Amino acid sequence: MYIIDIKLHNFRNYRELSLSPARGVNVLIGSNAQGKTNLLEAVYLCATARSRRARSSGQMIAFGEERAFARVAVDNNGLTDRVSINLANGKKGVMVNGAAVAKLGDLFGALYAVLFAPEDLGLVKSGPAERRRFMDLELCQLSPVYYYDLSNYCKSLAQRNNLLRDARVRGRADDALGVWDDTLSDLGERIVKKRAEFAETLAETAARIHSRVTGGRESLRIVYRPSVRPGLFADALRENRSRDISRGMTCSGAHKDDLAFVINGRDARLYGSQGQQRTAALSVKLSEALIILEEKGVSPVLLLDDVFSELDESRREQLLDYTSGLQTFITAADASDVSRETAKSGARIYRVENGTISGAGPPGFF
């Protein structure tokens, strides 16, 4: 799939934007704070109804304005899908092909996007919450059922935790706790099963990519570390009940899972160099794109924020190899980041300046 058209209105620093990107690689060049990341944010928002950095939808509305929208028209195997995200009054309205989408799960599929942003380094470097968030976002895009299971799991977890706190105060557990244990363990089992399958495919693909990008010098192993092993959810909740009551929270479950990244036999979080962590994170993102292609039969749109400045020439070449066949948006601060290889790939170059995008041309255009 590829985006035919992007329209923004009062989105961050874009007053009005209408852009028809190329089917292949689109390079967005501009100084700091001009709107490069904002454009990628808008596209990602249309794919997932989420932003990586906005805490509230209001933050994406241009300063001083009350409403904003981001719209994309997507070619999906010859059919056109239109996604519109309207932001107003602290709310986010999602429309697909003119119809309001009540459940976010129904949005996934109209546009698949994979975003690599500098903060994705956190995938390897930060704590487990970051890695769970990554797995969840990817799985939500791949499976609406996962999305519903996960939102129900979160709601059930909150209910169970309320009952645990009540039990702590009253000194005894309510009968309803058992009901929530059953719900939570059913959902937990389903989530863990999906995550395990996803992690296995991811591990295989990312290992291949990482090895190629590093010229065979490094091996990357990704290992899923569930907090409760499959099949043992109900037991774990029962066994840990008194501890959970005394802490007023559920101490084990899908909300405690982790993924380990191991490079050349050592935990990359503890021992990896900056460059190794970066390459691992990028390998994971490229794998994600390949997994979507494999599982959904459609090529996702690749959004690469500021990756050029982080990679040496040979890694850039390898990276561009992986973008072939995928519509790609790459931001760069400097025109010199746009290498000869990029030129060969037939990329279209845009200049981003103060919320405007101009000039579609080959490299060397500026």
Give contact residues for ligand ATP (rule: CB under 6 A). 12-13, 30, 32-38, 59, 61-63, 333, 352
Based on the shown chain and the rule CB under 5 A, indicate whether residue 37 belongs to the binding site for Mg ion.
yes
Asked if 13 touches Mg ion (CB under 5 A), the answer is no
Q: How many other C-beta atoms can be found within 10 angstroms of the C-beta atom of residue 334?
A: 11
Q: How far is CA 37 from CA 12, 65, 360, in A?
A: 10, 20, 18
**13 contact choice in ligand ATP, Mg ion, none (CB below 5 to 8 Å, kind-dependent):** ligand ATP
Minimum CB separation of residue 254 from Mg ion in Å reads: 33
| Shortest Å, Cβ 11 to ligand ATP | 8
- In whole angstroms, the minimum distance from the beta carbon of 53 to ligand ATP comes to 8
Helix (H, G, I), strand (E, B) or coil at 315: helix
Residue 273 or 358: the one with the smaller Cβ distance to ligand ATP is 358
Distance CA 321, CA 45 (A): 26
Q: How far apart are alpha carbons 272 and 279 in whole angstroms?
A: 10
Phi, psi (deg, nearest 5) at residue 276: -65, -45
Q: Which of 33, 129 has the CB closer to ligand ATP?
A: 33
The two three-digit tokens of residue 272, written as one number: 């990896």
Judged by beta carbon, residue 3 or residue 332, the one nearer ligand ATP is 332
**What does DSSP assign to residue 99?**
E
Inter-CA distances, 114 with 260, 275, 291, Å? 21, 21, 11
Of 12 and 71, which CB lies nearer to ligand ATP in the complex structure?
A: 12
Q: Which is nearer to ligand ATP, 72 or 213 (CB)?
A: 72
Alpha-carbon 358 to chain mean position: 28
Residue nearest to Mg ion (CB): 37
Q: Report the C-alpha dihedral over residues 172, 175, 176, 180, rounded to 10 degrees.
A: 90
What is d(CA 347, CA 361) in angstroms, rounded to the nearest whole number? 8
Q: Which does 214 bind (CB under 5 to 8 A by kind): Mg ion, ligand ATP, none?
A: none
What's the token pair of residue 182? 């059953």
Establish if 34 lies at the interface with Mg ion (CB under 5 A). Answer: no
Backbone angles phi, psi at 104, to 5 degrees: -60, -30
Task: Give me the least distance between CB of 14 and ligand ATP, in Å please.
Answer: 8
- 51 lies in the site for Mg ion, by CB under 5 A: no
Between 207 and 333, CB nearer to ligand ATP: 333
Cβ 122 vs Cβ 130: under 8 Å? yes
The stretch near Mg ion (CB under 5 A) out of 37-45, 199-207, 339-347, 349-357 is 37-45
Identify which of residues 66 and 313 has a Cβ nearer to ligand ATP in the complex.
Answer: 66
Report the nearest approach of ligand ATP to the CB of residue 61 (Å): 6
Region near Mg ion per CB under 5 A, out of 17-25, 28-36, 122-130, 144-152: 28-36
Under the binding rule (CB under 5 A), the answer on residue 38 touching Mg ion is: no
CA distance linking residue 174 with residue 177, whole number of Å: 6
12 binds, among Mg ion, ligand ATP, none (CB under 5 to 8 A by kind): ligand ATP
Question: Please, which residue, 61 or 262, has the CB nearer to ligand ATP?
Answer: 61
* Cβ neighbours of residue 236 closer than 8 Å, sequence gap 6 or more: 185, 228, 252, 253
User: Which residue ranges make up the site for Mg ion (CB under 5 A)?
Assistant: 36-37
